[in-house]
Chain A
């Protein structure tokens, strides 16, 4: 009883302060919810407007001639053949360098490396590289590939551009490889080694095939990022006007190059409306290529997930 009488003044005080005001709070809740929905759809709306706008202004310029013609000073007869081939060549060079090096590093870090200083340094380094702006990679490529290794790469060439892009997407491929390897159950490794296989034999014949779809998905996504990159290529020295597609030879690798994003950039920065229309046409082609790549990555991922 004494306890009760002691508490009651406090209780009364609390009661006076206790003002749930549920109506007002619920109203604020609804406002907050509405705003967050609007924010979510703002991004989607902008994406839709962008895509529709580009389709409207670019569809009229799409034709067979537009694909196979070289660029020109007259927008009516200009085409995208050299930059399109340039982008495909860059894609191949980038993949040839970034895929083995990235997957190899991923395997090394996940399967072979002990928890030592080198592994830790590589790990911190990779997450650091992810935040470095792509234009800085361009400066690296300009200095190292185009200048120091000029006798090998031929200066501001296709090879320099491809190598720069390979360095740019290397961290992405390494991270994707490590995640894919981590998803492979340990029992597989244990079984392989219990049969007397070395670590590498186990990885090559059992772990890697299991992880390959995941690695491929990550690599395709990384490559699709690479072919949309403009800034590092401009810095390495892509030319804005190249009338011929590069030759398929060592000399072709060392020749000056252009790529789809560079061509788009060059056309958008001209004042005439005619060039803006064909820029939109080139964007449609570039986005279609990206769509095919992303679509195949998603298809691979789904196939892989349903198999498990």
Chain B
């Protein structure tokens, strides 16, 4: 019966003539693929190694010409002048000032928005507010720079006398709004993950909603919140375009938020914009400053790892 219906060739294949498993070829392909993809995975490790080696190599070159003592204790920064000075404290101070102003905005607003999104906002509204925050996170930083220099600074000038065109105040404020979505979104994940039973237990003891939030929910989510804040700090310290455009390029040792400062990142932009020749002292200075920046973010990262491991609460 079946033989008459099926064409001859298919009948053959059904009997197994075309059954050639060729396992050795498949296994060879798999081996090659694993090797190739393993090499791809190594690219990300190589990136880290590359960053560290690059920075170390040029930083050593830098310290052969400039004494570490001057680098860490000098209070003037003028590497491009005829009489160069290399006091990194000046740039650290600028970075510190803009970051602190930014974090004064981003940490309270970010945490409060996280609490609001997770605890107070109705689910339907949350579905709209979270993507809106993500849009804020997706705005290119050069656009924030435009906003800080050409919209926020003129606005602040109307009621803050003595505010210069480039100032760390408006750069810091806008920096805060650029960092805010990072802190809000990651803290919200941590707060949202706290089990409902903890909240119910707190209500059962007679606590109000606010007391439950600040006394039970936030401490329970502490490790996630701290991790989000540390990542926010790293973003603020490494942020480039906002501070370059709005905080200016004058390396002065000041804590006055109305005047212009130079951060580590805006120094790197200033030098690279003007084509520094390889091997010049400016070129080496770039990497010494980059190394300082990298070490700061690395320390922050390790702190975050340690904190999360030490204080993470696991709930079933």
Candidates A25, A108, A229; contact of B34 at CB < 8 Å: A108
> Which chain A positions have C-beta within 8 A of B51?
132, 136-137, 139-140
Complex Cα distance A25/B234, Å?
Answer: 37
Question: In whole Å, how far is A98's beta carbon from the nearest beta carbon of chain B?
Answer: 10
Say yes or no: A105 contacts B41, CB within 8 Å: yes
CB atoms of A264 and B143 under 8 A apart: yes
> Is B290 close to A, CB under 8 A?
yes
List residues 273-316 of chain B with CB under 8 A from any CB of chain A: 273, 275, 278, 286-287, 290, 293-294, 297-298, 300-301, 304
Q: Quick one: closest B residue to A97, CB to CB?
A: B43
Closest residue of chain A to B21 (Cβ to Cβ) is A196
Nearest-CB distance from A58 to chain B (Å)? 10
CB closest residue in chain B, given A22: B208
Chain A hits for B45, CB < 8 A: 121-122, 125
Q: Is B190 an interface residue (CB 8 A)?
A: no
Interface string of B115-150 (1 = CB under 8 A from A): 111001100000001001101101111111111011
Q: A131-B234, A199-B30, A283-B146 are in contact. Are A105 and B116 (CB under 8 A)?
A: no
Given A32-B210, A268-B146, A170–B47 Cβ distance below 8 Å?
yes
Contact partners of B273 in chain A: CB under 8 A? 234, 240
In the assembled complex, B44 has its CB within 8 A of some CB on chain A: yes
B40 touches A100 (CB 8 A): yes
B residues near A (Cβ < 8 Å) are 21, 23, 26-27, 29-30, 33-34, 36-38, 40-45, 47-48, 50-51, 54-55, 57-58, 108-109, 112-113, 115-117, 120-121, 129, 132-133, 135-136, 138-147, 149-151, 177, 180-181, 184, 206, 208-211, 213-214, 231, 234-235, 237-241, 244-245, 265, 268-269, 272-273, 275, 278, 286-287, 290, 293-294, 297-298, 300-301, 304
The proximity string for A residues 124-165 relative to B, scoring 1 for CB distances below 8 Å and 0 otherwise, is 011011111111111110111001000000000000000000
> For residues 15 through 45 of chain A, which have their beta carbon under 8 Å from a beta carbon of chain B?
20, 25-26, 28-29, 32-33, 35-40, 42-44
Chain A residues near B47 (CB-CB < 8 A): 129, 140, 167, 170
Given A43-B109, A196-B21, check contact A37 B120 (CB 8 Å).
yes
Of A67-75, A184-192, A245-253, A286-294, the segment with at least 4 beta carbons within 8 Å of chain B is: A286-294
Cα(A142)–Cα(B290), bound, Å: 12
Q: How far is the CB of A305 from chain B (nearest CB, A)?
A: 13
Chain A residue numbers with a CB within 8 Å of B239 are 133
Chain B contacts of A94 at CB under 8 A? none
Is there contact, CB below 8 Å, between B27 and A198? Answer: yes
Q: A135-B238, A136-B297 are in contact. List 10 more A-B contacts (CB 8 A).
A: A28-B210, A32-B210, A33-B209, A44-B136, A108-B38, A113-B38, A122-B44, A137-B51, A140-B47, A264-B146
Q: Which 8 residue pairs are nearest across A and B when measured between Cβ atoms? A: A133-B238, A228-B140, A39-B112, A108-B37, A231-B240, A104-B40, A105-B41, A36-B116
Q: Which residue numbers of A lie inside 8 Å of B, CB to CB? A: 20, 25-26, 28-29, 32-33, 35-40, 42-44, 46-47, 49-50, 53-54, 57, 100-102, 104-105, 107-109, 112-113, 118, 121-122, 125-126, 128-140, 142-144, 147, 167, 170-171, 174, 196-201, 224-225, 228-231, 234-235, 237, 240, 261, 264-265, 268-269, 276, 279-280, 283, 286-287, 290, 294
Residues of B within 8 A of A283 (CB): 143, 146
| A-B residue pairs in contact (CB < 8 Å), sample of 11 | A20-B206, A28-B210, A36-B120, A53-B147, A54-B146, A108-B34, A108-B40, A131-B234, A269-B245, A276-B146, A294-B135
Q: Which residues does chain A contribute within 8 Å of B206, judged by CB atoms? A: 20
Interface centre among B42, B237, B272, B301 (most CB of A within 10 A): B272
Q: Name the B residues within 8 Å of A39 (CB-CB).
A: 108-109, 112-113, 116
The CA-CA distance from A113 to B290 in the complex, in Å, is: 34
Min CB gap A102→B, angstroms:
8
Residues of A within 8 A of B150 (CB): 57, 268, 276
Q: Is the CB of A125 within 8 A of B234?
A: no
Point out the residues of chain B lying under 8 angstroms from A50, CB to CB: 139, 143-144, 147, 151
Contact A108 B41 (CB under 8 A): yes
Q: Which residue in chain B gives the minimum CB-CB distance to A266?
A: B273
